[in-house]
Structure 1
Amino acid sequence: MSENRDKAGPDDSAFLLVVGERVRNARARRGMSRKILAKDSGVSERYLAQLESGAGNISILLLRQVARAMDLPITEFLGDRAPLTVDQALLLRQVEDLSSEQLQELQAFIRDRFGVASSVKRHIALIGLRGAGKTTLGQILATTFGLQFVEIAKEIEVEAGLSLNEIFDLYGQGAYRRFERRALERITADPAPKVIATGGSLPSEPATYAHLLTHCFTIWLKARPEEHMGRVVAQGDMRPMAGQSEAMADLKRILAQREALYARADMAFDTAGRTAEQAGADLVIALRAHPAWLAREAAE
């Protein structure tokens, strides 16, 4: 016992803070409240609050429950991994200081040099937080270009044979993510080009987002936090008005967590200050002038 007490110290506290921050950030990326995570994981809200603040020394089994509720490996929080080979360690060291643009250039080189074929991006996918205008602008794009419009939320319900509420109530967040991935794979496997309105948290799932970026010309619809909330309320959802200051803080945190992910899209379009009609017309013009879209049209 004395040996264990002697080993405890600042490093242990720092580790608990890191684990708590990773859990909190993962929850924010998914837009999950602590209440929802508690329900899906079976871990109390109070315990989760202690964990996220770095004050809770959670057991491995409980942490596994939290990870499963977010459909993540437990290593996402602990940072455990198999030992790297010398070559892997050297390669990681060489790329760790590269900018996002340089990393994307490196990815393109690896793809071309080692024969990883790039598929033609037949579909258009709209990403962004709820209230960005994905449904409205998606329908405008579909009409303009003569494409089918698809909402991933409805396709998830088709995949599961359940409503979204039933999926979450019966099976939780992890099941929703699996149905989301299956629905996306089914949609993109169809060669008929489509416009796809995605869920706001899809980019936080690496494998699902990578599939989207590979098979779809992806457009990030941007807006100010106040506009996101105002549009959601205008749609008849009054929940953000309850505890508005806290809701706005959560919204800004989610945007901050996802911004780098959203920025991986082929194109970004700012809807701020535009009516739906103005945004739709301007988006069509911007899309037709985009080099990547022109290349896609040439390939078609």
Structure 2
Amino acid sequence: MEKQTAIPLRERNIILIGFMGAGKTTIGQLVAKKLYRDFIDVDAEIERRQGMSIPEIFAQKGEAYFRKVERELIVDLCTNTRLKILSLGGGAYLQEEVRRACLAHGIVFFLDLSWDYWKEERLPLIVDSRPVLKNKTLEEVEQLFFQRQSAYALHHSRVVINELEAEQAADQIVESIKWMWDVYEPNR
């Protein structure tokens, strides 16, 4: 049997999680640039591989199919790649297999924001582009927001992004990562 060795902290993928519209893609691109790493937006990668948009996948093949493809891709990226910045879709991290792979093989950052901030600042920007929001009342969306918090609570580090510009949030993540590297792997 082959013995698995732990992935050095400096080589682990950095994984951004959080509610839809939190800024994972924008912030992830900035973090990737600052750390000279490749950036992978999981939703965009699924769209590329499937040859259709996420709303089209939901409409034509259903959410269960989408979640299966999403789970397989994320687990593969977590276990078979290094030195990447990954941005997960808002619902991806709800899947236990995804959480386990991310926590075991990456450094997971939760981009946290308050319901009030999200509702006022982010919802108007994304409401028409997210299949999960389709035909939902504000109360149902609020319930979804708070239901997901328990999954998001399982992370390595948290950045509260209310009122932060994307650049500021990216800087906080990079500073946290460099601190982790210095503390846990000082001689690398």
Please classify the TM superposition score into its range, dividing by the shorter chain length.
0.7 to 0.9
Bigger Rg, which one: 1
For the Cα contact (< 8 Å) 1:225–1:252, is it kept in 2? yes
CA 1:170 to 1:234, structure 2 compared with 1: closer, same or farther past 3 Å? closer
Residues 243 and 186 from structure 1, CA distance in 2 versus in 1: closer, same or farther, beyond 3 angstroms?
A: closer
> Which of 145, 159, 166 in structure 2 is aligned with 1:269?
159
User: SS of the residue aligned with 1:264?
Assistant: coil
Q: CA deviation at 1:243?
A: 9.1
- TM value normalised by structure 1: 0.53
Moved more, 185-194 or 208-217: 185-194
Matched AA of 1:187? L
Does 2:178 align with 1:178?
A: no
1:55-74 matched pairs, under 5 angstroms: none
Counterpart in 1 of 2:19? Answer: 129
CA RMSD of aligned residues (A): 3.1
Q: Which runs of 5 or more structure 1 residues have no equivalent in the other structure?
A: 1-114
User: Which string of whole-angstrom CA distances, capped at 9 and with x for unpartnered residues, describes residues 61-112 of structure 1?
Assistant: xxxxxxxxxxxxxxxxxxxxxxxxxxxxxxxxxxxxxxxxxxxxxxxxxxxx
More strand by share: 2
2:124 is the counterpart of 1:233 = yes
The question of whether the paired residues in 1 share the 8 Å contact of 2:79 and 2:101 is answered with: no
What is the CA distance between 1:235 and its match in structure 2?
5.6
The residue identity in structure 1 corresponding to 2:20 is R
1:165 aligns with 2:55: yes
Aligned to 2:47, what secondary structure does the other structure show?
helix
The aligned residue for residue 96 of structure 1 is: none
- Tell me the distance in 2 between the aligned counterparts of 1:235 and 1:165: 13
Count of residues in Structure 1 that have an aligned counterpart in Structure 2: 182
Structure of higher RCO (CA pairs closer than 8 Å, 6+ residues apart)? 2
- Alignment of 1:138 onto 2:28: yes
- Give the equivalent residue in structure 2 for 1:188: 78
Distance between the aligned counterparts of 1:157 and 1:267, measured in 2?
28
**Whole-Å Cα distance in 1 between the matches of residues 104 and 40 of structure 2?**
18
Unaligned runs of 5+ in 2: none
Structure 1 distance, partners of 2:53, 2:128, is 18
Deviation string, structure 1 residues 197-231 (Cα, Å, up to 9, x no partner): 10111121111221121121000000111322322
